[in-house]
Amino acid sequence: MLMTIVFWVIVGIIAGALARAVVPSAEGQGGWGTDLIIGLVGALIGGFLFNALLGHSYGGWVGSTVVAFIGAVILLAIVRAFSRRRVV
């Protein structure tokens, strides 16, 4: 169980870094640390949802990273959409 959590943390950080490269950010909106944490949470949510919907986890580094990346991109895009600064 502990190794699974460590595995998802590592994959989540990788997915968070990849998601940060894909999802554009406005200037002054978070930093690398914030994006990696959001990516990690999104990766964990993506992995949990994938497991809940399909009844199994996606084994291996590549498959897990893809699932984590999708979850991280979705969560990062949601956070960015709600935290954009409006210019009036």
- Given 3-state DSSP classes, what are the helix, strand and coil percentages for the chain, each rounded to the nearest 5? 75, 0, 25
Establish if 87 belongs to a structural domain. no
Q: How many Cα neighbours within 13 Å face the side chain of 72?
A: 29
Establish if 75 belongs to a structural domain. yes
Q: The pTM is what?
A: 0.73
Establish if 88 belongs to a structural domain. no
Establish if 58 belongs to a structural domain. yes
pLDDT over 70 at 10, yes or no:
yes
Establish if 68 belongs to a structural domain. yes
The pLDDT assigned to 27 comes to 55
Count of structural domains within the chain: 1
Range of the domain at 13: 2-23+30-82
pLDDT single digits (tens) 22-51 = 877 655 556 778 777 877 788 778 878 887
